[in-house]
Amino acid sequence: MAATTPATPPPGAPGGRPEPSPPTAPRATGGENPLLHAAKLVREAVPPLHPGGRPIIAAVVAAAGAVRLLTGRGTGAGLLATAATAAFFREPRRVPPPRPGAVLAPADGTVALISEVVPPAELDLPREPVTRISVFLSVLDVHVQRIPMHGRIRSVEYRPGAFLSADLDKASEDNERNALVLETQTGHLVGVVQIAGLLARRIRCDVRAGDEVAAGETYGLIRFGSRVDTYLPPGVAPEVSVGQRTIGGETVLADLAVTKDGP
């Protein structure tokens, strides 16, 4: 009698070989493509550029490309110069604090001077001493300027001048500068002056008299080292100190409700 071969149990049956599992698809991150998500994170981390810097960045790129074509060298230096120039014209996003009476810093930098002075004639403010807060911007700081409070631009006036070191007190009157007066929603007048420094050779102001503006909104740019003065309304006390770092559009320089005689 011929021997019989035992039947092999079908896959998945008791005693049979396990049925292979179908290949699984890569797990999506919150339903979003991982590469697109990574690109989004990078885009959010890199601040946008101020439009005033684009022609200069393009010129640096063109110069670096010309050097590369003529000499076959300089790629690294060209990339470094382009990155440094782009970093100078960065315009990071800022979130103003929810304080209706807050006078915000118009620029990133260091508080260099706090003094009681009569405002310059171009501001057309009352000729009485008020607190002036001077913020010095190094070449490493963000160089865009921001509106300190909600309100309306009352006046804008440009004055040519010298290019002394911006940390000197007399730079407020001798250097090239652009002054604006902001009338706040409460009727207060705040003066802001962009002042050129040793390396600065171009002041840009994008607002005009009559414009309605919002706190923290970018309104101007000074190229390569400068200073920005803020003239507070009479009697308002500063809330910063000399040597303190400021963040434009976020640091509170003063509160209109806090006077030198107390709230």
Domain shared by 108 and 235, yes or no: yes
- Residue 193 and residue 157 in one domain: yes
Q: Quick one: 245 and 128 in the same domain?
A: yes
Instruction: Provide the mean pLDDT of the chain.
Output: 81
State the Cα angle at 178 between 172 and 182, rounded to 5°: 100
Write down the pLDDT at residue 26. 47
The encoded tokens of residue 1 equal 């009698």
Range with lowest mean pLDDT among 10-19, 129-138, 226-235:
10-19
If asked whether residues 124 and 58 sit together in one domain, one would say: no
Containing domain of residue 113, as a range? 102-259
Is there a catalytic annotation at residue 134? no
Same domain, yes or no: 50 and 118: no
Same domain, 207 and 182: yes
Asked if residue 169 and residue 250 are part of one domain, the reply reads yes
Domain for residue 234, yes or no? yes
Residues 184 and 154 in one domain: yes
| pLDDT per position as a tens digit, 82-125 | 766 666 677 788 999 998 899 999 999 999 999 999 999 999 89
CB atoms within 10 A of CB 207: 18
- Are 78 and 114 in the same domain? no
Give residue-wise pLDDT tens across range 154-192. 999 998 877 776 666 777 777 889 999 999 999 999 999
Q: Is the Cβ–Cβ distance between 103 and 148 less than 8 Å?
A: yes
Do residues 159 and 193 touch, judged by C-beta distance below 8 A? no
- Of 19-23, 37-41, 234-238, where does mean pLDDT reach its minimum? 19-23
Q: Which residue has the higher pLDDT, 12 or 75?
A: 75
Same domain, 130 and 208: yes
Provide the number of structural domains found in the chain: 2
- Spot the catalytic one: 134, 155, 172, 226: 226
Q: Report H helices in the chain.
A: 34-45, 54-71, 75-88, 171-174
**2: pLDDT confidence band, cut at 50, 70 and 90?**
very low
Q: Do 186 and 252 fall within a single domain? A: yes
Mean pLDDT value of segment 182-210 = 88
253 occurs within a structural domain: yes
